[in-house]
Structure 1
């Protein structure tokens, strides 16, 4: 299988994870409503499924499944400055985020590994498994912003910045 097909398959699988988790969250919510209001016998495990699913949807989705052009930005200043200044902005912001996430990574690791001593109330899942997505989020975010830094330093920021930069370029011509 060619490399392009592997990366396309990996992207589709990464995007499927939040969709599956959202379906699990929705079904759990429906079960909870049914059990509480129809059967008059509420169940607690559905709340745990919803909370864990939501945590994983947010952190997996933002770190692994989301592309940079999918992010919402308030970029009035960024869009009004020269391409060189945009590169400086991107580089400085990337350096800032890489440093923040890299400095916090050991403490996050300690927290996640410490949480193996506790389990969820109903599903009996160890909390280190629940919170392990935070480690994935931090590691992937560091890698993403190292790549953004590299593209800013090498002058390839327009290709990495997504369609909004290309659209501004096309609009201004």
Structure 2
């Protein structure tokens, strides 16, 4: 199981790095076309670079949040959480995870409708169907529902602290 988790972790990191590399290369093409080639009198219309970068950025952020970042990597406002007893931390953890699950589940039908509606529209330059662009949000929401649902189960079973949190508390 640990080997499978390692392969999964490497795979999602490679996908995220590939998207980041594609953004960077596209950005360099855009800079070269705008500043270098125009210096020599060539004018290339590269509107597709902006559209590709925006789409890749959307996918990179949502994909990374869903598949790459661990619980401890997410930004948290823990001013109160860090100063309460372990029992209250469990209550806060269940409330926070439940809020996320309820909100995402409640929004899922409308989100599905929104993404499905965009199958009739295409992006202006690349002519990609917009439901393909926005489907990553459905994946993101579904993964977060599963992750935070599992977090609730872990907290209720008493296994709510990650290895890193346990190590910090032990110090």
Shift of 1:4: 2.8
1:102 aligns to 2:105 (yes or no): yes
TM-score, reference length from structure 2: 0.92
The within-5 A match list for 1:1-173 is 3-40=1-38, 41=43, 42-158=45-161, 161-163=162-164, 165-171=165-171
Shift of 1:162: 4.6
TM-score, reference length from structure 1: 0.91
Which 4+ stretches in 1 moved above 4 angstroms? none
Number of aligned positions between the proteins: 166
| Structure 1 counterpart SS, 2:80 | helix
Which deviates further from its counterpart, 68-77 or 125-134? Answer: 68-77
CA distance in 1, matches of 2:63, 2:131: 16
Structure 1 residues 109 and 162: alpha-carbon distance in aligned structure 2, compared to 1, 3 A threshold: farther
**Contact 1:69 1:162 (8 Å CA) reproduced:** no
Which deviates further from its counterpart, 64-73 or 137-146? Answer: 64-73
RMSD: 1.3
